[in-house]
Amino acid sequence: MIRLSDTENSPIDANITLFGMRIARTTMQNAVTTVLGWCETERGESCRYVVTPNTDHAVLFQGRDDFRDAYNSASLVLADGTPLVWASRILGRKLPERVAGSDFIPALFAATTSTLRVFLLGAAPGIADEAARRIERRWPRVQVVGTYAPPVGFDNHADEDRRTLSAVSAAQHDLLIVGLGAPRQELWVAKHCHELSAKAAICAGATIDFLAGYRRRSPLWMRRAGLEWLHRVCSQPRRLAGRYLRDAFVFPQLLWQEWRRSTM
């Protein structure tokens, strides 16, 4: 949810509701200006965080209260998935464009005019360090002040969870990039947003992998054609085939139900 105080003096003026999720009606440029604005001012009463829904999130959102709560407390919800932008148009609630997390973060780095201190949380051991090297080489105003790769399942163990929070808190930073996969990253940030010292956090999926050159994004034509999911399934079929099969079945039903509701 964009809270009014979060968007005061920001160029974002409205949300739409899609499949129950509030999504900012914003362009990439305005979203970048908003989040850099947060990073350049005093932290509010908690760390503001950004979530980036795709079709899989829309499906998860229907069945999980904890995921819905994490979304509802987010300060900014950006349409990551092309099918969400298409759905917004079909339903007459037009989103101006896709603002994918993996494009948004490089755009943010490119746009900062002062030093931006960043912490990278997540990805396999060593990957975030490589991402840090590449980020600092490419965007000299960005300083990666720390990285941490928590062990798999850390969030189910209180000790590991605390250790992760301490590792993040030990480094002074403006922006926390969290690449733990959904819904883990959204749940973790929502749970700890009052303790995190960052001014803003972005739930970023595989962005750290992409920045490290460890995984490749789909070619531009596939992204434009809304086929990024196909590229992902082909590169990780064992992990993702079941998920995308479910989404391919459920998402059209969600769209149909929403369209019926909007015409009644």
Cα–Cα dist 216/165, whole Å? 29
Based on the shown chain and the rule CB under 6 A, indicate whether residue 181 belongs to the binding site for ligand UDP.
yes
The helix (run of H) or strand (run of E) holding residue 177 is strand 175-179
Based on the shown chain and the rule CB under 6 A, indicate whether residue 230 belongs to the binding site for ligand UDP.
no
Instruction: Write each residue from 8 to 47 as x if it is in contact with ligand UDP (CB under 6 A), else as -, in one continuous string.
Output: ----------------------------------------
Is the four-CA dihedral 189, 191, 192, 198 of positive or negative sign?
A: positive
- Longest Cα–Cα distance of the chain, Å, equals 54
SS3 116: strand
Cα–Cα dist 123/158, whole Å? 20
Based on the shown chain and the rule CB under 6 A, indicate whether residue 165 belongs to the binding site for ligand UDP.
no
CB 122 to ligand UDP: min, Å: 4
Tell which one of 180, 198, 200, 254 touches ligand UDP (CB under 6 A): 180
User: How many residues form the binding site for ligand UDP (CB under 6 A)?
Assistant: 13
Instruction: Write each residue from 63 to 82 as x if it is in contact with ligand UDP (CB under 6 A), else as -, in one continuous string.
Output: --------------------
CB 153 to ligand UDP: min, Å: 7
Based on the shown chain and the rule CB under 6 A, indicate whether residue 209 belongs to the binding site for ligand UDP.
yes
Cβ-based burial of 156 (10 A; exposed 0-12, middle 13-18, buried ≥19): exposed
CB 217 to ligand UDP: min, Å: 11
Tell which one of 76, 144, 175, 182 touches ligand UDP (CB under 6 A): 182
User: Which residue's Cβ lies closest to ligand UDP?
Assistant: 205
Cα–Cα dist 6/139, whole Å? 27
Using alpha carbons, select from 75, 46, 168 the residue that is nearest to residue 117: 168
Cβ-based burial of 243 (10 A; exposed 0-12, middle 13-18, buried ≥19): middle
Tell which one of 84, 208, 212, 233 touches ligand UDP (CB under 6 A): 208
Tell which one of 81, 83, 146, 179 touches ligand UDP (CB under 6 A): 179
- Of 37-45, 64-72, 77-85, 122-130, which part binds ligand UDP (CB under 6 A)? 122-130
Using alpha carbons, select from 182, 224, 241, 248 the residue that is nearest to residue 85: 224
Using alpha carbons, select from 36, 35, 13, 34 the residue that is nearest to residue 25: 13
Q: Where on the chain is the footprint of ligand UDP (CB under 6 A)?
A: 122-124, 152, 179-182, 184, 205-206, 208-209
